[in-house]
Chain A
């Protein structure tokens, strides 16, 4: 079945109606505030977790903006912000070889071992 569909989401009216189809992604705005990544500790005792990103002129403003954008409903008790340009990431194209060493070592998991039924609490 190949029925034609034109699903329009909230404000997106497709390309036929000049919906910014011809976007270019060359960076040209030097006056833009830098981008920051936001990490939130949701509860004392838990890790900080990545929540999203935002723009701010400096770290103090990034913390305040992060409070307003990401913790309006008590989502956090602690915030970290770091300028996005300082994040280094592994390359997804190399994921295969990068994680290869762990691939064939099932014996690192407890379920690898056959124990007799009588053994409890181990």
Chain B
């Protein structure tokens, strides 16, 4: 019986029919999706912190309004994704609990500090740029609610990247000190951005199951190469450089060659030893704990109102 269901399920996937929450699905598919979607949601929520850091210090009212809108979008993206995960049978509070206890991860890129205003430009250009490249294929994910959430996310994300590039473009036309600040930010964020695509394909121990189920569509290295090719050209417009002495156009491959990535650093950060892991999680937990009375009060008020209505009726 189980096998018959599995066959029907795989047939649907092969025909590109989306799976919806109430449809039968293998338990492993459900769990993989809950893990993926919830950790994606956590990344959006934690991702607000490094940029929130600069809202009060944005250099103009225009920049401040843009940054607030961007951070608000990230909150929205987190909420779309949490809702998508909830359709699989996990509760919002359970997901928060996994984040706060460190059981669930979020993108390691947010464990790096945002030291200068130029970081807001680089986060938009490189970090959101890498995220978009990773996320566009997810709009065709086999799980309907995830795919629909990602369509919304991707639509909103492109302003994020453009505003970041604009920040850097303005700095590139600025004073020597501003150009230095921008170059320094690029130097610090370039390699962590490349790590966002995940380990090299041939070092990956996991199965091809997720490809078969069409949760995943492109390999890490394919997307990373595409990202490098795009950025190597865009950085010329800015008149800055990428911090990689091996970066060179390869006529034969039709791609840029680039230097080796420090995977030790990557796994160190994932496992909690990055520059800001503790700070980020503490900020998140503080917000959750100190907001408890608001959640309780709103619920108590709603219950009271409902009861009054009952008595009146």
Which residues of A are interface residues toward B (Cβ below 8 A)?
2-21, 23-25, 27-29, 31-33, 35, 52-55, 57-58, 61, 68-69, 72-73, 89, 91-93
Contacts and interface: CB of A to CB of B under 8 A. Distances in A.
**Interface class of chain B by DSSP:** helix
Contact of A12 (B23, B31, B88, B105): B105
A17 B202 CA distance: 18
Interface stretch (B177-185, B214-222, B253-261): B214-222
B241 interface: no
A72 B105 contact: no
A28 B219 CA distance: 38
B98 A12 contact: no
B104 interface: yes
A6 B199 contact: yes
Mostly, the A contact residues are loop
A106 to B, nearest CB: 22
Given A32-B93, A92-B22, A73 B39 contact: no
A10 B43 contact: yes
Given A7-B220, A89-B22, 13 more contacts: A4-B204, A5-B206, A8-B199, A10-B107, A13-B108, A16-B206, A17-B267, A20-B34, A29-B93, A33-B299, A57-B295, A68-B72, A69-B76
28 contacts: A4-B201, A4-B202, A4-B204, A5-B210, A6-B206, A8-B197, A8-B199, A9-B36, A9-B39, A10-B40, A11-B108, A12-B39, A12-B40, A12-B105, A13-B105, A17-B271, A23-B34, A23-B35, A23-B38, A28-B91, A31-B299, A33-B295, A53-B86, A57-B299, A68-B76, A72-B156, A92-B20, A92-B22
B242 interface: no
A6 B98 CA distance: 22
Contact-residue bracket for chain B: 35 or more
A82 to B, nearest CB: 15
A80 B189 CA distance: 43
A16 B207 CA distance: 12
A29 B219 CA distance: 38
The 7 closest A-B pairs by CB, nearest first: A6-B204, A11-B43, A8-B198, A57-B298, A29-B93, A11-B107, A7-B216
Contacts of A10: 39-40, 43, 107, 131, 134-135, 196
B1 interface: no
A12 B36 contact: yes
A25 B206 contact: no
A98 B93 CA distance: 36
B138 interface: yes
Contact of B205 (A16, A21, A53, A61): A16
Contacts of A11: 39-40, 42-43, 105-108
